[in-house]
Amino acid sequence: MEFIGDFGMILLATIRDVLPIIALIAIFQLLVLRQPIPHLRRVLVGVVYVILGLALFLAGLDKALFPLGKIMAQQLSDPNFIYGHQVTEGEVQWWAYGWVYLFAAFIGFATTIAEPSLIAVAFKASEVSAGTISQWGLRITVAMGVALGISLGTFRIVTGTPLYLYILGGYLVVVVQTLYAPKSIIALAYDSGGVTTSTVTVPLVAALGLGLAEAVPGRNPALDGFGLIAFASLFPIITVMGYAQYNQWLAGRGKIVPSKEDS
Amino acid sequence: MSLENPSFNIAPYLAIIFKKLRDAVTDLLPIVVVIAFFQLIVLRQPLPQLGEVLFGALLVVMGLSLFVQGLEMGLFPIGEAMAQALARKGSLFWLLTFSFALGFATTVAEPALIAVAREAAEIASQGGLIASGEKAIRSYALGLRMSVAISVGLAILIGVLRIIRGWPIHYLIIGGYVLVMLMTIIAPEEIVGIAYDAGGVTTSTVTVPLVAALGVGLASIIKGRNPLVDGFGLIAFASLLPMIFVMGYGLLIFS
């Protein structure tokens, strides 16, 4: 019965999240637009589905995946697992953390595939591009960006190098790519940076960052624990534009492979 | 999928439900594989409480399929309907008011943001950047939250204005990046990590589909706009502007 209580709390929290949006739309419909919403009943049923679905989704994650994922993140970064014994700051070797980087990449990829907001944006992108941008193509490209980003982010925490160097470097790459990437992909690429980090990815990734910053000798969780989310929102922009550029390049070489993102 | 179908037949509905569930299983599969691989092969430990985990996974699958169905029935149509109604009304003032309010209202109460703001305030207090004590921490956290919420409101407003005017997105985004870079150099180190993360936590699972439908809806109605080129980008602004505002807030408070 404990679960029903937990689920009730999550459901209430979800309703509280949706309430300001419903209030805003209702106020605008009643006071400003003064016209009925088409298919109102169907839309309302849809909103109920969204709230119920999101609450079930979060309750399930809380029950099954988050506890296990957080324990695993701690175990993998534990010096006893990595070195077989406790170490001091001077003994930290960045190459000893191979499993951590791999776990970061895999969990980043996997959680992004299950991210509901990315599913929504991929759906819209596929719809407006009349299918030339495939839902799975976009989702896998974004997930690979997140994998790369989080893996690099854990490397940064282990080595203790400053966050801004990576982020500014990444921005530079994005700026240069923007100049050459097909125009039609640019806005979508920028958007895919923002959608990757919500319900599923943030809790697991934040736990990974803080756990790692605590476990690596000489790192300060308050300073080094943050920043993984920034990595996860930057690198998908690079991979999505990169994939579009790759397709353009293939098309430009006169290969038979048709360009997916025709500009 | 018309609801007005007089001869009610359950078979097509079952087929849809089955397909949604199968999609959700596919979406969840990578997480299960990764966790099982690391737990069993790398850490060499048994899966604890297998029953609980399986039950949780079942909830996730059901939740995800319900959410996607609700997306297609509720959130997307309502976002598009609002875009259409506001565009037809032809009042730029109301359109921009709606955009700002949507960004502000969905962000200000976001639990992830409240948590991050609180954490940031505690770190700033420990680092001696603000006075210690509950009152100072609370007022700093509130200020941080407000600056993020206002910045997301402004972000959606600017993004909608861009769609209407047809400004190319890359100038705005690159300009924003340059600003972030410059501010990173002068902002206090303690705020930089939080500012970068603030960009990521603002875009919730309910906001994203609604905002995407709004942008694409506007770009499809306004003549001369392409839904793919002009319709996206609202979320990008919503993740960029908070970084600038949070660093700005840090500069304002700490100097």
- Per-residue pLDDT tens for B62-106? 999 999 999 999 889 988 888 888 888 888 899 999 999 999 988
Asked if A99 contacts B91 with a C-beta cutoff of 8 angstroms, the reply is no
Q: Do A60 and B59 touch (CB under 8 A)?
A: yes
Q: What is the mean pLDDT of residues A64-84?
A: 77
Closest by CA to A51, choosing from B255, B75, B114, is B75
For the residues A93-116, what does the mean pLDDT come to?
A: 87
CA A136, A156, B202: angle at the middle one, nearest 5?
55
A40/B contact by beta carbon, under 8 A: no
Q: Residue A124 and residue B216: Cβ atoms within 8 Å?
A: yes
What is the rounded distance in angstroms from the CA atom of residue A244 to the CA atom of residue A184? 9
Task: Output B110 or B150, whichever has higher pLDDT.
Answer: B150
Nearest to A167 among B69, B109, B196 (CB): B196
Residue with tokens 């919730």: B204
Q: Which pLDDT does position A36 carry in this prediction?
A: 78
Q: Say which residues have a Cβ less than 8 Å from residue A227's Cβ, sequence separation at least 6.
A: A153, A156, A157, A163, A167, A209, B193, B196, B197
Amino acid identity, position B123: I
End-to-end CA distance of chain A: 56
B113 touches chain A (CB under 8 A): no
Cα separation, A174 vs A197, whole angstroms: 18
**In the block, residue with structure tokens 């565009």:** B87
Confidence band for A222, pLDDT divided at 50, 70 and 90: low
Cα separation of B36 and B187, whole Å? Answer: 42
B84, burial (CB in 10 Å: exposed 0-12, middle 13-18, buried 19+): middle
Query: Inter-axis angle of helices A98-113 and A66-77, to 10 degrees?
Result: 160
Task: Check pLDDT > 90 for residue B125.
Answer: no
Higher pLDDT, A207 or B164: B164
Q: What percent of chain B has pLDDT over 90?
A: 24
By three-state DSSP, how is residue B5 classified?
coil
Q: Two tokens at B179?
A: 């600003």
Burial class (CB in 10 A: 0-12, 13-18, 19+), B236: buried
Place of tokens 């990757």: A196
Q: Does the beta-carbon distance from B56 to A60 stay under 8 Å?
A: yes
Residue B9's pLDDT band, with cuts at 50, 70 and 90, is confident
Write the DSSP assignment of chain A as a string of letters: -HHHHHHHHHHHHHHHHHHHHHHHHHHIIIIII-SPPTTHHHHHHHHHHHHHHHHHHHHHIIIIIHHHHHHHHHHHH-HHHHTSS---GGG--GGGGHHHHHHHHHHHHHHHHT-HHHHHHHHHHHHHTTTSS-HHHHHHHHHHHHHHHHHHHHHHHHHT--HHHHHHHHHHHHHHHHHHS-HHHHHHHHHHHHHTSSTTHHHHHHHHHHHHHHHSTT--HHHHSS-HHHHHHHHHHHHHHHHHHHHHHHHHTT-SSPPSS--
Interface of B with A in 1-60 (CB under 8 A): 3, 27-28, 30-31, 33-35, 37-39, 42-43, 45, 47-48, 52-60
Query: Looking at A19-28, B35-44, B147-156, B198-207, which range is the least confident one?
Result: B198-207
The b-or-e profile of B110-130 (16+ CB within 10 A means b, else e) is bebbbebbbbbbebbbeeebb
- Note which residues in 187-206 of chain A have CB less than 8 A from chain B: 187-188, 190-191, 193-195, 197-200, 202
Of A23 and B11, more confident: A23
Look-up of token digits 């939250």: B145
pLDDT at site A262: 46
For chain B, say whether A96 makes contact (Cβ under 8 Å). no
Cross-chain residue pair B54–A183, CB shorter than 8 Å: no
Per-residue pLDDT at B123 exceeds 90? no
Categorize the per-residue pLDDT at A263 as very low, low, confident or very high, splitting at 50, 70 and 90.
very low
CB B137 within 8 A of CB B122: yes
pLDDT for residue B52: 82
Residues near A23 by beta carbon (within 8 Å), at least 6 away in sequence: B105
Give the lowest-confidence range in A46-55, A166-175, B43-52, B142-151.
B43-52
Instruction: Examine the pLDDT at A19 and tell me if it is beyond 60.
Output: yes
Q: What is the mean pLDDT of chain B?
A: 85
A232 close to B (CB below 8 A): yes
Cβ proximity of A113 and B64 under 8 Å:
no
Q: What does pLDDT average to over chain A? A: 84
Q: Which pLDDT band holds residue B193 (cuts at 50, 70, 90)?
A: confident
Position B7 confidence tier, pLDDT thresholds 50, 70, 90: low
Nearest to B234 by CA among B218, B217, B211, B213: B211
Residues B75, A25: C-beta atoms closer than 8 Å: no
When mean pLDDT is compared across A235-239, B187-191, B227-231, the lowest value belongs to B187-191
A30-57 per-position pLDDT tens digit: 888 887 777 888 989 999 999 999 899 9
Q: In which region does residue B233 sit, left (phi positive, over 0), alpha (psi from -120 to 50) or beta (all else)?
A: left
Rounded distance between C-alpha atoms, residue A208 and residue A62, angstroms? 16
Core vs surface per residue B205-228: b (16+ CB within 10 A) or e: bbbbbbbbbbbbbbbbbbeebebb
Range A93-114 average pLDDT? 87
Residue with the bigger pLDDT between A262 and A249: it is A249
Of the pLDDT bands very low, low, confident and very high (cuts 50, 70, 90), residue B1 is: very low
The predicted structure's pLDDT at residue B161: 94
Encode burial over A26-52: b for 16+ CB neighbours within 10 A, e otherwise: eebbeebbeeebebeeebebbbebbbb
At residue A256, does pLDDT exceed 90? Answer: no
pLDDT over threshold 70, residue A206: yes
Alpha carbons A143 and A232: distance in angstroms, whole number: 9
Q: Give the SS3 label for residue B175.
A: helix
**Identity of the residue in B37, B48, B238 whose CB atom sits nearest the CB atom of A194:** B238
Residue A186 tokens, joined: 């640019």
DSSP class of B43: S
Kindly report the nearest CA distance between residue A38 and chain B, in angstroms.
8
Q: Which residue has the higher pLDDT, A236 or B194?
A: A236
A104 vs A229: which has the higher pLDDT: A104
The confidence score (pLDDT) of residue B181 equals 85
Summarised one tens digit per residue, pLDDT across range A124-163 is: 999 988 888 899 999 999 999 999 999 999 999 888 888 8
Residue A104, pLDDT above cutoff 70: yes
